[in-house]
Amino acid sequence: MRIDVITIFPGMFDAVLGESIIKLARQKRVVDINIIDLRLFSKDRHRKVDDKPFGGGPGMVMSAEPFFEAVNYIRRRTKDMRLKTRVMLLTPRGSTFNHDMAAKFAAYEHIVLLCGHYEGIDERVRGLVDEEVSIGDFVLTGGELPAMAVIDAVIRLLPGALGNEDSRKDESFSHGTLEYPHYTRPAEYMGKKVPEVLLSGDHEKIKKWRKKESSKVTKKRRPDLIK
């Protein structure tokens, strides 16, 4: 899979992409991630990518031209790869990102993530976009953090990304419910004991207990997930 990110703050991605599962997935060539500086596609001598909004109002609006130039540059570079490209805009106006959406994105060959900033993006940029994505009903200073969340959620669903492929089978949302509780050594800590069933060695009983606990915690904390 290939992921291209267009941003005016490429340095924000260094730590996230250089650690943990994402780092390993890149090393194993499960995913190819490229961070592209939008300012390189500005024709302004000062590399400006924003301007005052028509009609007045506070803040600055990101210009359309650099985004079109950057996306066209990516399409030219990947033309010989014959990848099916999906362009996504990180925006509060988008569909709320969830596990099912991450699974859908993980099946794509190539995604391009557009990170907005300032007051917003020139509306004409939406002509480039296949999907608009939001990570929740709140406003951030830019699309970089949402892009990182999408990248992390998508990559861990790619075959070969995790050390143990069974790790994601019983995670929260993988079956439409939250995950069951986990315990490790010691078996007793500060007077609190690990449930006996987990120490029994009876895998069928453990499986039933986990399913029951998963249902219980989902009903308590996320009843909206119960169908």
Residue 170 pLDDT: 59
CA-nearest of 135, 170, 167 to 151 is 135
Instruction: Summarize the confidence of residues 189-207 as an average pLDDT.
Output: 97
What is the topology classification, in CATH, of domain 172-225? Answer: Trp Operon Repressor; Chain A (1.10.1270)
**79-130 pLDDT, tens per residue?**
999 999 999 999 999 999 999 999 999 999 999 999 998 889 999 999 999 9
Lookup result for tokens 């219980």: 216
Residue 160 pLDDT: 94
**9-22 pLDDT, tens per residue?**
999 999 999 999 99
pTM of the complete model = 0.89
Lookup result for tokens 């995670």: 171
What is the topology classification, in CATH, of domain 2-155? Answer: Alpha/beta knot (3.40.1280)
- Beta-carbon neighbour count of residue 20 at 10 Å? 11
Determine the Cα–Cα distance for residues 143 and 149; give it in Å rounded to an integer: 10
Q: Tell me how far CA of residue 25 lies from CA of 10, 100, 154, 161, in angstroms.
A: 20, 21, 11, 5
Residue 174 pLDDT: 66
Residue 168 above 70 pLDDT?
A: no
Residue 167 pLDDT: 61
In the chain, which segments carry CATH 1.10.1270.20?
A: 172-225
**121-167 pLDDT, tens per residue?**
999 999 999 999 999 999 999 999 999 999 999 999 999 998 776 66
In the chain, which segments carry CATH 3.40.1280.10?
A: 2-155
CA-nearest of 183, 200, 4, 204 to 87 is 4
